[in-house]
Amino acid sequence: MTRIVAIVPMRHDSQRVKGKNYREFVAKPLYHYIVGTLLDCPSISEVVIDTDSPVILEEAARLFPSVRLLERPENLRDGATPMNDVLLHTTSVVPADFYLQTHSTNPLLTKASIERAIATFQEKAPAFDSLFSVTRLQTRLWDQLARPINHNAAILLRTQDLPPVYEENSCIYLFTREILARRRNRIGDRPLMFEIDEIEAQDIDIETNFLLAEQLFRLHRQSGEA
């Protein structure tokens, strides 16, 4: 059986939304949602939290006893430390065939999407060596010099008729340690893009994101979708 380890890296401090990883979101700390979702995924062999937060380390040990907790080394705690360096350390400690990395800031990400991503990747391997999730965009994009990126400005197509482009949304990455070490990147030489709906892919980066995600979560829960 393929061993897939899920990694959730979480810093104690965050610059734009203070303490967001353990801040109350709807009814419980934000990180509880993604951890609970990952634990409910039958394809995931183990869930790992990598953190420098004493709050998360203490609470998760009590509430999620099956989760492996890794206290982040001092040399990897600076906010400017690349995520790939953090992941290289985590993957050196916890062996796996593949790693699935996500974030606590994706509370609307569902078990169904995670399981579908894993199944799709397994079906298409080895044609693809890694997977990352994306959000489809069909809108007119311009670069900083006012040059059209994905359309001909002289031909006013309806936005729904534009060829889609895709935004890396940081919800799901599937990769091996070999790819991470060789490329210093979670995305391999032959990556598979996995599309996720923009609402489910909501990421909390600033205060407005936090408030919007809470409202979307409540709406989904009321409709039975979350």
Q: What is the 3-state secondary structure (H, E, C) of the chain?
A: CCCEEEEEEECCCCCCCCCCCCCEECCEEHHHHHHHHHHCCCCCCEEEEEECCHHHHHHHHHHCCCCEEEECCHHHCCCCCCHHHHHHHHHHHCCCCEEEECCCCCCCCCHHHHHHHHHHHHHHCCCCCEEEEEEEECCCCECCCCCECCCCCCCCCCHHHCCCEEEEEEEEEEECHHHHHHHCCCCCCCEEEEECCCCCCCCCCCHHHHHHHHHHHHHHHHCCCC
**CA dihedral (175, 179, 180, 183) positive or negative:** negative
Predicted local distance difference test score (pLDDT) of residue 226: 46
First-to-final CA distance of the chain: 29
Across residues 74-99, what is the average pLDDT?
95
Q: What are 48-62's pLDDT values in tens digits? A: 999 999 999 999 999
pLDDT band at 79 (very low <50, low <70, confident <90, very high): confident
Model confidence pLDDT, tens digit, residues 181-205: 999 999 999 999 999 999 999 999 9
Higher pLDDT, 36 or 79: 36
Tell me the CATH architecture of domain 4-135+167-222. Alpha-Beta Complex (3.90)
Instruction: Report pLDDT for 224.
Output: 63
Q: Are 34 and 130 in contact (CB under 8 A)?
A: no
